[in-house]
Amino acid sequence: MLDLLPDSVLIRALTDKAYWIRVMFRALGVPEDEGLVGGYLWALRNLTVGEVRDGVIWVLSDPSWREWRIPPPPEAIYESSKWGDTLGWDAVKKFFGSSEAQLGGWRIGREV
């Protein structure tokens, strides 16, 4: 799946916590607010990029967040970061292969 991403997006996905917070907002259809992103980053400062990614993926696997279109509190991402590896890459592919998934200006597998 990662080989479908342009290099600039791939680098950000591997090195930037804010990237994953923004992915969460986009997946939920919530406007990205820099203050809100900063608040999440501060609350999740003790997590690695991979843990933030796993936490975001895990909380987004719960359809109720997408149905309500409200971002989960940072605590949900923090707690969910423990379960990211359990979820596995199959769920990531399923979610990011959906019509809702968009990263930057790219939809996974095809340009937007």
What is the rounded CA–CA span in Å between residue 76 and residue 89? 20
Among 98, 105, 20, CA closest to 59: 20
Per DSSP (E only), the strands in the chain are 106-107, 110-111
Q: What is the pLDDT along the chain (112 residues), one digit of tens a residue?
A: 445 555 666 666 667 899 899 989 988 888 888 899 999 999 999 999 889 988 888 888 888 887 888 889 999 888 887 765 555 555 555 555 554 444 444 444 434 3
What is the rounded CA–CA span in Å between residue 27 and residue 43? 20
